[in-house]
Amino acid sequence: MGNIDQNVMMEVKNINLRFGGVIAIQDVSFDILEGEIRAIIGPNGAGKSSMLNVINGFYHPQEGEIWYRGEKRPSMEPYEIAKTGIARTFQNIALFKGMTTIENVMTGRQLKMNKNFFWQMIRYGPAIEEEVEHRRRCEEIIDFLEINHIRKTPVGALPYGLQKRVELARALAMDPTLLLLDEPMAGMNVEEKQDMSRFIVDVNEEFGTTIALIEHDMAVVMDLADRVVVLDYGKLLADGTPNEVQKNQAVIDAYLGVPH
Amino acid sequence: MFYRETGQFKSKYKEELAAFPLFEDKIGVGILLLLAYVAIPIFGIPGLSYEFTLSAIMIPVVIFTITTLGLNILLGFAGQISLGTGAFMGVGAYSCYKFMTIFPDLNILICVILSGLVTAFVGMLFGLPSLRIKGFYLMVATLAAQFFLEWAFIRIPWLYNYNNSGGIEGPNKEMFGIIISGPQSDATTRYLVCLTFLVLLTWLASNVIRGRIGRSWMMIRDMDIAAELIGVRPLTAKLSAFAFSSFYVGISGALMVFFWLGAAEVESFDINHSFTYLFMVIIGGLGSITGCYMGAILVWVIPVLIKEIGKTSFGYDAFVMENLSIILLGFMIVVILIVEPHGLARLWQIAKQKLRMWPFPY
């Protein structure tokens, strides 16, 4: 909200994604500006999650181009795309259940650590210094998201709302330039939603992270997002500010409905 | 009351990241090391003969703990299942034998480490299917490794230097003027060599699994898709786990033949042994280093003790005792897995948790 400039960070152009005969995304184009919060909304099965999967390289679209920071992105594997500064959270939590919160957050630093097998084996000198350095950053993020008290708890034992927050922490630990959030508030109560919204705004403002999020709670979307993309049956229905989208008749018919 | 972290404050991340952040743990490990390094080699275990203690209990337990560590790294930490452990031990043993005969002057300890490296390479080759398949299907693929390698140990006479027996055996090997391996070596010396290997390898394993590489294994184990999106390359993570694990298994195989059995044939590396190691890992606890020790001790020592006690105290036939020990062990495994599916390591953890509160549990 605060620090949008008009530089385009990412542009998806004419994406077509098919699974066999099923058309998941059909000729969708939109852009994400640097520093904005971009919401993707639409009914179930509209292709929102598929779109995120395309952006972070898990799906390879049959047609279409993705331009990231002014360059056309070649077809890449997910781990290569992670290196370019794109992080994400998942609709159904994908934490590492056997590990504690701090370990989960530390996994986000994976790409930034590079000491080789030998140093890892003796865990002395450079290896331990690297570990400490990244631990410090992770603790900052843990502080930021107020999850200090569960630092040493195995994530499998945490309540749902906290797991979602740990997942956000893990994504933030990657120091992303573009953060993709897949339904960060699904299944939360009002209070948890407020907390999560606050964190999302804070991340956007303090770290300057560009955020693309999928969300069904319209009140949240209208408050948080700078611009909204609406998808329906894999097609682009509308693209604009929350107010514009809210008044768009096609969007009201397909998704928002009218208040009774 | 005696075991708690209260009052032990850490002011540096480095201190908290240490292997044993708690003072009590440091003392405990110190005592165990003293027992293993000093008390047992001097006094043995009370009630059992010295020779029996070392060659039937301590040396095999130490060697199998190394095997279990290796398998646990693969199964418990990286989540890749393998049924070829026995055969990979064979790779270690046969390659150590070849190194010893090709370079007769090479120090045997170097041969052992080299054979670990050879096994790491072979393990990596047979780990390649893991990039495509998971779970039970991968298990079947590693089963193929087991059968193929067993076949190779019989059908490729070059591996056992074309001798008539078809087995391998170690000559006497000296280091610093002491015979450390072979028929004339002393059990105590061999025990100390194996123990040193175990201590060093445990230390290395605990370092690796707490660091970047260990985390990448656990990420693959827990949620491979998320791991990939965070930036773990499945190829590197899985193959490094196979290599590191096989390195341990190979070393334990070489130690088993040249520091314990003295000679071996292909039967020492068959699938039944692979299953035994799998039991050790599962009973000890997947994903726990302490569990490796407990699993190896339980699965190996209990049958040996039952057999020994039956033979000396009750005069039973060795054959009867053999079967009885299998029955009792099987029964114990079932009971333990019902009580605590996560193995002995979890029981130990719960005990420590209770001890922390003791004597005021609320």
pLDDT tens-place string over residues B44-80: 777 777 888 888 888 999 999 999 999 999 998 988 8
pLDDT at A5: 60
User: Closest approach of chain A CAs to the CA of B226, in angstroms?
Assistant: 6
Ranges of H-type helices in B176-233: 187-210, 212-222, 224-230
A-chain residues near B241 (CB < 8 A): none
Question: pLDDT at position B7, please?
Answer: 64
What's the confidence (pLDDT) of residue B67?
93
Domain membership of residue B138 (yes or no) is yes
Tell me which residues of chain A, numbers 127 to 146, contact chain B at a CB-CB cutoff of 8 Å.
Answer: 127-128, 130-132, 135-136, 139
pLDDT digits (tens, 9 = 90+) for B20-35: 777 777 888 888 888 8
Q: What is the ipTM of this complex?
A: 0.84
Residues ≥6 apart with Cβ < 8 Å to B289 = B69, B72, B202, B205, B206, B209
Residue B321 lies in a domain: no
Q: How far apart, in Å, do the first and last CA atoms of chain A sit? A: 32
When pLDDT is cut at 50, 70 and 90, the band that residue B3 belongs to is low
Flag whether B184 is in a domain. Answer: yes
Burial class (CB in 10 A: 0-12, 13-18, 19+), B40: buried
Q: What pLDDT does residue A211 have? A: 92
| Domains identified in chain B, total number | 1
A63-68 β-sheet, strand order? A22-33, A8-19, A63-68, A71-72
Residue B242's pLDDT band (cuts 50, 70, 90):
very high
Give me the total of CB pairs closer than 8 Å, taking one residue from chain A and one from chain B. 103
- Residue-wise pLDDT tens digits, A36-82: 999 998 888 888 889 988 998 888 999 888 988 888 888 888 888 88
pLDDT band at residue B340 under the 50/70/90 scheme:
confident
Least Cα distance to B198 among B263, B269, B122, B260 occurs for: B260
Would you call A82 and B229 a contact, using CB atoms and an 8 Å cutoff?
Answer: yes
Residue A70 CA: distances (Å) to CA of A73, B14, B258 = 9, 42, 63
Q: Which A positions 201-260 lie with beta carbon below 8 A of chain B?
A: none
Structural domain contains residue B135? yes
Residue with the bigger pLDDT between A150 and A117: it is A150
Confidence of residue B95 (pLDDT cuts 50, 70, 90): very high
Token pair, residue A175, equals 């120091």
* CA distance linking residue A91 with residue B225, whole number of Å: 13
The pLDDT tens digits of the residues spanning A10-21 come to: 888 889 998 888
CB contact under 8 A, B211 and A83: no
Residue B128 lies in a domain: yes
Q: Flag whether B133 is in a domain.
A: yes
What's the pLDDT at B92?
93
pLDDT above 90 as % of chain B: 19
Residue B167 lies in a domain: yes
Report the distance separating Cα A39 and Cα A238, nearest Å: 12
Inter-chain residue contact B230 with A56, CB threshold 8 Å: no
Write out the E strands in chain B.
Answer: 168-169, 173-175, 178-181, 263-264
- Test A99 with B233 for CB contact under 8 angstroms: no
B127 vs B107: CA distance, rounded Å: 30
Q: What is the pLDDT of residues A60-69, one digit of tens each?
A: 999 888 988 8
> pLDDT-derived band of residue A219, with 50, 70 and 90 as boundaries?
confident
* Residues B62/B222, Cβ–Cβ less than 8 Å: no
Chain segment B245-296, per-residue pLDDT in tens: 999 999 999 999 888 888 888 888 888 889 889 888 988 888 888 889 988 9
Compare A93 and A259 and report the one with higher pLDDT.
Answer: A93
Q: Write out chain A residues lying below 8 Å of B12, CB-based.
A: 132
User: Across all residues in chain B, what is the average pLDDT?
Assistant: 84
Which residue out of B11, B75, B219, B229 would a mutagenesis test of the A interface target, given it has the greatest number of A Cβ atoms within 10 Å?
B229
Inter-chain residue contact B14 with A58, CB threshold 8 Å: no
* Chain B partners within 8 Å of A127 (Cβ): 207, 211
The pLDDT of residue B361 is above 70: no
A122 touches chain B (CB under 8 A): yes
What is the average pLDDT score of chain A? Answer: 86
CA distance A44 to chain B (A): 22
Nearest CA in chain A to B226: A94
Q: What is the pLDDT of residue A260?
A: 67
All domains of chain A in start order, with CATH: 1-85+176-260 (3.40.50.300), 98-174 (no CATH)
Band (pLDDT 50/70/90 cuts) for residue A1 is very low
> Region B170-187: what's the mean pLDDT?
74
Cα(B164)–Cα(A36) distance, integer angstroms: 77
Q: What is the mean pLDDT of residues A211-217?
A: 89
Q: B222 vs A117: CB contact, 8 Å cut-off?
A: no
Query: Is B11 within 8 Å of chain A by CB?
Result: no
* Angle, in degrees to the nearest 10, between helices A160-172 and A190-202: 10
pTM of the model: 0.88
Counting beta carbons within 10 angstroms of the beta carbon of residue A18, is it exposed (0 to 12), middle (13 to 18) or buried (19 or more)? Answer: middle
Q: Give the domain extent around B101.
A: 54-269
- Which chain A residues contact residue B76 at CB under 8 A? none
Q: Which has more confidence, A110 or A50?
A: A50
| Residue numbers in B near A107 (CB within 8 A) | 215-216, 219, 227, 230
A28 or B321, higher pLDDT: A28
pLDDT of residue B362: 64
